[in-house]
């Protein structure tokens, strides 16, 4: 593997560290137990001190919250749950004053069923222009009582819902497609009105000064002609290491007739033209569950999106040979189109990596962990999670962090099932626990009610009592704490230019199955994923090590489950 350095003065997004804020769980400014925009604004100093470059906000738009805001009823307004447009403007101004860019979520595959467009569709007959904005179809069978095709929802159950007088006030019996919850009807992106609407939405937020967009389900929107039956299954996040770099370049994928259709690229070329009208290097990042990586790279060609999340890296787990393959393949395919590679370990849709890596199988990726499930080893998960983070931040490209990971937060694995709100839990009858465990409100102050998340002490999901030890104020200034490790890593990453650096395997570790060693400029990043210590180069200067507080300093050998940054010779 060889990845050549990027220009140090290139666009900000090529090497940015971007921090995801999940608004309802970050900080509550009004005491109602649900996080909001003023709460985020009040805590932006924390992110500036952490050393990130940008903040990505998950949806805060007007929404009935059937899927925690990913069911949008109005793309140009803030839901009262989170504040007002004035609150958003204040957040944006404060972030920019602190040198932080702001990326907002865009949800173009579907709307809420409470969006004005869907209400208009229900008031008009089959075949109307209003219904043509969505995917309404007649049912199959003599009486139309069977769904138009056999597709399943990502959240479980069928992907079609039939209109009924009881629920919709409509008796014509048509069906509408929803690849997610039944309250999230899919839009028909063959309709020019849909395309024009979203270009206008982009401009609305660009005019307010946002620096970019994270595009939800970016591989969706376009469906195969005729909506053919398909017997496959698609999960929330998939990853593939492509076997090797050559396979990554030439491989082909099959996501089914509802995903990764060629027509999505025409949409993103049009969006790129919109962003290019604005100054400030505005950016688009794709949430695209696409494999192999060669298919994902098509989304970041020079005239399309700027970045795409590297879910193959996230999904690989604690496996050195597989991680080496995915790192090499990621650089091969992204370098071929001139795009930066992104690195990510956690987000609002997956079990937190500080818990995932503490499972008996650290390459597994369960959809939630409950009290009755096998529990992670908390200390081992934290040790491996810190090591994985130091590996990620040592690689050239852009990195994404999920709120709370800088505190080492584990998953809430003992959440009462009666409190779960994820529609995936409801629609699968509990077969999938869902994502609530990674969305629990953050602990800011160890000895305050609600750990300082809310002045009232209220939290929309309960926090584990053990989280007092993870609170931000319990780690601030404490040598070796996870918070201080992240701060130190981000300072060094910037000082050493690691985000724009080059990458090459360190030949001294060839043939060592449990070691990943990458030279990035003057820094050698060595990760030991094995059970035994491995020797380090003689006389190497240790810049930063991932070990837990109380560990002995790294000496001639690198301990198991540890990553170190060395001054390369």
Which residues are designated catalytic?
216, 277
* 175-177, strands of its sheet edge to edge: 136-137, 175-177, 160-162
**How far, in Å, are 44, 158, 192, 431, 461 from residue 426 at the CA level?**
34, 13, 35, 9, 16
Cα–Cα distance measured from residue 438 to residue 35, given in angstroms and rounded to the nearest whole number: 15
Cβ-Cβ contacts under 8 Å for 257 (sequence gap 6 or more): 223, 224, 227, 228, 230
Q: Are strands 398-402 and 342-344 parallel, antiparallel or unpaired?
A: parallel
Please, are residues 283 and 307 in contact by the beta-carbon 8 Å criterion? Answer: yes
**For residue 218, how far is the Cα from the chain centroid?**
12
Cβ-Cβ contacts under 8 Å for 511 (sequence gap 6 or more): none
- HSE toward the beta carbon, residue 548, CA cutoff 13 A: 13
Closest Cα partner for 397 from 293, 488, 520, 311? 520
Please, are residues 293 and 312 in contact by the beta-carbon 8 Å criterion? Answer: yes
552: helix, strand or coil: coil
Please, are residues 541 and 496 in contact by the beta-carbon 8 Å criterion? Answer: no
275 forms beta bridges with none
* Residue-wise DSSP of 536-550: --TTPEEEEE-PPTT
**How far, in Å, are 225, 258, 267, 310 from residue 261 at the CA level?**
10, 7, 11, 19
**How far, in Å, are 69, 148, 415, 422, 425 from residue 418 at the CA level?**
21, 34, 8, 11, 10
Peptide bond just before 86 cis, omega within 30 deg: no
**How far, in Å, are 283, 443, 473 from residue 451 at the CA level?**
35, 5, 10
């Amino acid at each position: 593997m060889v990845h050549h350095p990027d220009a140090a003065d290139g666009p900000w997004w090529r090497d940015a560290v971007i921090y995801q804020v999940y608004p309802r769980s970050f900080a509550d400014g009004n005491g109602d137990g649900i996080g909001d925009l003023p709460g985020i604004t009040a805590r932006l100093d924390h992110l500036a001190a952490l050393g990130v470059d940008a903040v990505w906000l998950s949806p805060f738009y007007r929404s009935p919250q059937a899927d925690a805001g990913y069911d949008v009823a109005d793309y140009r307004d803030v839901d009262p749950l989170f504040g007002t447009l004035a609150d958003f403007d204040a957040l944006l101004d404060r972030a920019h004053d602190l040198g932080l860019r702001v990326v907002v979520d865009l949800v173009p595959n579907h709307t809420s069923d409470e969006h004005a467009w869907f209400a208009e569709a229900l008031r008009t007959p089959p075949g109307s222009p209003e219904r043509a904005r969505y995917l309404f179809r007649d049912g199959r069978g003599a009486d139309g009582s069977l769904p138009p095709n056999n597709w399943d929802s990502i959240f479980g159950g069928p992907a079609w819902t039939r209109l009924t007088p009881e629920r919709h006030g409509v008796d014509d019996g048509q069906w509408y497609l929803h690849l997610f919850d039944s309250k999230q009807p899919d839009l028909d992106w063959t309709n020019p009105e849909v395309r024009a609407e979203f270009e206008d939405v982009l401009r609305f937020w660009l005019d307010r000064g946002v620096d970019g967009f994270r595009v939800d389900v970016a591989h969706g929107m376009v469906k195969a002609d005729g909506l053919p039956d398909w017997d496959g299954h698609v999960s929330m996040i998939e990853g593939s290491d492509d076997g090797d770099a050559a396979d990554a370049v030439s491989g082909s994928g099959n996501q089914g007739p509802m995903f990764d259709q060629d027509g999505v690229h025409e949409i993103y070329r049009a969006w790129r033209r919109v962003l290019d009208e604005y100054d400030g290097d505005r950016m688009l990042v794709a949430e695209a569950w696409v494999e192999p990586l060669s298919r994902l790279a098509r989304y970041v060609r020079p005239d399309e999106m700027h970045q795409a999340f590297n879910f193959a890296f996230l999904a690989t787990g604690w496996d050195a040979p597989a991680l080496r393959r995915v790192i090499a393949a990621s650089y091969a395919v992204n370098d071929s189109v001139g795009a930066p590679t992104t690195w990510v370990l956690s987000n609002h849709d997956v079990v937190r990596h500080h818990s995932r890596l503490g499972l008996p199988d650290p390459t597994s990726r369960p959809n939630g962990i409950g009290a009755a499930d096998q529990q992670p080893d908390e200390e081992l998960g934290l040790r491996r999670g810190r090591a994985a983070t130091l590996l990620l931040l040592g690689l050239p490209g852009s990195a994404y962090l999920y709120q709370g990971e800088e505190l080492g937060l584990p998953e809430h694995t003992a959440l009462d099932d009666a409190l779960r709100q994820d529609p995936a839990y409801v629609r699968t009858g509990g077969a999938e626990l869902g994502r609530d465990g990674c969305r629990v409100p953050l602990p800011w102050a160890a000895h305050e009610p609600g750990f300082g998340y809310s002045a009232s002490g209220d939290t929309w999901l309960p926090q584990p009592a053990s989280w007092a030890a993870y609170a931000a104020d319990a780690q601030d200034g404490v040598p070796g704490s996870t918070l201080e490790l992240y701060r130190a890593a981000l300072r060094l990453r910037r000082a050493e230019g690691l985000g724009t650096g080059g990458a090459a395997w360190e030949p001294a570790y060839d043939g060592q199955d449990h070691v990943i060693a990458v030279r990035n400029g003057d820094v050698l990043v060595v990760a030991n994923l094995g059970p035994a210590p491995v020797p380090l180069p003689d006389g190497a200067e240790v810049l930063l090590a991932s070990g837990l507080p109380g560990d002995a300093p790294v000496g001639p050998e690198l301990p198991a489950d540890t990553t170190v940054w060395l001054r390369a010779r």
